[in-house]
Amino acid sequence: MEWNCWKMLKGINMSFLLEFKGLICCSEMGPSSSGKTQVCLRTASNVARNHMVLYLDTGNSFSPQRIAYFLGKTISPSSAQAKNQFLQKVMSNISCHSVFDIFAMFDVLHQLESYLRCQDGRGGFQMRLLIVDSISSLISPVLGSSSTLGRALMTSAGYLLKKLAHQHNLAVLIINHTVGGEGGSSKPALGDSWKCIPHSRLFLSCDRGSNTYNVSILRHPSMASGKAARFVI
Amino acid sequence: MEIWRLPISASQRGKLISAGYTSLSSLSSISSSDLARELNVSESEAMNILKVASHSRGSETSNASCSIVEGAQSAWDMLHDEESLMHITTSSADLDNILGGGIHCKEVTEIGGVPGIGKTQLGIQIAVNVQIPNDFGGLGGKAIYIDTEGSFMVERAFQIAEACIEDMSEYNRFLRKDFQECKIKMQPQDILENIFYFRICSYTEQIALINYLDKFLSEHKDVKVIVVDSVTFHFRQDFDDMALRTRVLSGMALKLMNLAKRFSLAVVLLNQVTTKHTEASFQLALALV
């Protein structure tokens, strides 16, 4: 899947047009309350119209009311029952699971792998999007202690996600945080070992006091890095 | 190599690998006594390893039926669950409005403020309010109060409990004046009996308690709120390793969120504030954020 980034650069509302061109494992990062979860919820509500979505939540940040709000904005005002039916049809395509440690996430990913293997044969609604919000809160408790197990778990998690994206035509969206770097600037958490794992990386930030968000590309296989855009959710 | 995926300790993992057990299938046909002898561990440890291994193996081969993974819920079901969840009132209408009806269950709420502003009083009020019976719009559950600073005063809790009962009987009189007046059977002593109080004196005790709460909550299923008074108090002084401190605190936060989700209870964390010096001005910020 490729983000239609021209839409972003024009600065209009974030309505993603997801085109099935390839497989991208995309990682988003930003400081606290820069809109990362809102972007994920918005994406999930758009993709869920036609495909299935799995949302792995580590911090109880999944809000079904927000998804209902996004969906309600897009359909024309009709009878309450028709709206209800539409909401039920679309929201049943989104599955949310809470994981609170890295071993639980591995369990979930392996169950997902066996599900996707059966799914590839048949038609109907297919799962196309996996959102992990956020991977840094799962990995930070194990990283940095005296053993190297933490880094091994992080790299294997990254490669498992890439394998899922590649083998089953899945788009994977990962949320990361930022930590303070040298000189007061912020740099992404999880360090340099994580840098090479996602195919593309986006940096989100929020203007203080206003509702607009900035997104800039740090790494992308086919577009130049450094491009930035502003948007309002 | 699949052994690294199992949630077992590093020494057990090292022993398994050096004894030649590298994949889960190699553990399928061995008995616990043989494994204990080969690894030079106790039999209960060997049984634990085998149990964990068979659990991960079982979840791999099970067929997914209606849900993609076990335990996942669709967003539509969650929307309806959220609408039916009850809130814990804080006895202040404005505060309840900001919180969207009160303290939500299945969520962790953090309340911070300068010293002396009333955080402990709010914590005690919440521990009392959770016990309001269902007839009066409350949850009718018990409370766990974890005290790290020693600021919980029983006399004050007794006063708050008395005031709560008086409030309920006035509401009763106001609303049910046509019917026969039914007396409130609760006494302040009953309310105090339903608050489980833990006093923590060091950070190791705090970590141990959070780990123990899992077992405690499975035995006492009617606990509906956990109030932690000053979750960061023991971590602010005398902690040498900063990275370890961040890791421990984030791990603790994840465990509390897990408890909130699994047992459908509310977690209230009371925190202190510090002054942060950013952009040449001083701002109040929650401690250890």
**How is residue A2 annotated by DSSP?**
B
Answer whether B68 sits within 8 Å of A127, measured CB to CB: yes
Distance separating alpha carbons of residues A217 and A200, to the nearest angstrom: 8
Per-residue pLDDT tens digits for A147-205: 678 888 888 888 888 888 888 778 888 888 777 655 556 666 667 777 777 777 777 77
ipTM score of complex? 0.72
* Domains, chain B, with CATH or none: 3-57 (1.10.150), 80-286 (3.40.50.300)
**Residue B284, pLDDT above cutoff 70:** no
Q: Which has more pLDDT, A224 or B169?
A: B169
The 10s digit of each residue's pLDDT in B6-28 is 778 878 888 888 888 877 777 77
Q: Which of B69, B78, B254 sits opposite A112 (nearest CB)?
A: B69
Per-residue confidence (pLDDT) for residue A78, from 0 to 100: 73
**Closest chain B residue by Cα to residue A98:** B72
Q: Indicate the residue type of A109.
A: L
| A115: chain B residues, CB-CB within 8 Å | 64, 68-69
Q: Which residue has the tokens 């553990």?
A: B27
- The pair of structure tokens assigned to B244 is 């370890």
Task: Quote the minimal CA–CA distance from B221 to chain A in Å.
Answer: 21
Give Rg (Cα) of chain B. 24
Angle at B131 between CA B129 and CA B137, to 5 degrees: 75
How high is the pLDDT of residue A20? Answer: 28
Distance from CA of A151 to the nearest CA of B (A): 12
Which pLDDT belongs to residue B144? 94
Apex A153 CA angle, A148 and A155, nearest 5: 100
Q: What's this model's pTM, rounded to 2 decimal places?
A: 0.75
Question: Residue A221 corresponds to which tokens in the numbers above?
Answer: 């296989």
Q: How far is CA B240 from the centre of its chain?
A: 27
Measured between beta carbons, the chain A residues lying within 8 angstroms of B64 are: 111, 114-115, 118
Identify the pLDDT of residue A13. Answer: 27
Rounded to the nearest angstrom, the minimum Cα separation between B243 and chain A is 8
Minimum-distance CB partner of B74 among A91, A103, A107: A91
More confident residue, B257 or B136: B257
Tell me: the pLDDT tens digits for B187-197?
A: 888 888 999 99
- B74–A92: do the CB atoms touch at under 8 Å? yes
* Residue A60 touches chain B, beta carbons under 8 Å: yes
pLDDT at A146: 66
Give the least confident one: A3-17, B136-150, B264-278.
A3-17
Average pLDDT score over residue span A94-104:
87
Whole-number pLDDT of residue A30: 67
Residue from B74, B110, B242 whose CB has the most chain A CBs within 10 Å, to mutate: B74
- For tokens 């204990």, what's the residue? B36
Provide the residue ranges of all domains of chain A, joining segments of one domain with +: 5-232
| B286 pLDDT more than 60 | no
Q: What is the rounded average pLDDT of the residues B179-202? A: 79
Give domain A5-232's CATH architecture.
Answer: 3-Layer(aba) Sandwich (3.40)
Q: What is the pLDDT of residue B105?
A: 87
List pLDDT tens digits, range A207-222: 766 677 777 777 777 6
Which residues in chain A are closer than 8 Å to B63, comparing Cβ atoms?
114, 118
Average pLDDT over residues B26-34: 76
Contacts of B171 (CB under 8 A, 6+ apart): B136
> How far is Cα B132 from Cα A197, in angstroms, rounded to an integer?
52
- The type of residue at A110 is H
Most confident segment among A31-45, A88-102, A104-118, B116-130: B116-130
pLDDT at position B197: 93
Q: Binning pLDDT at 50, 70 and 90, where does residue B261 land?
A: confident
Q: Does A85 touch chain B (CB under 8 A)?
A: no
Tell me, what's the pLDDT at A51?
A: 83
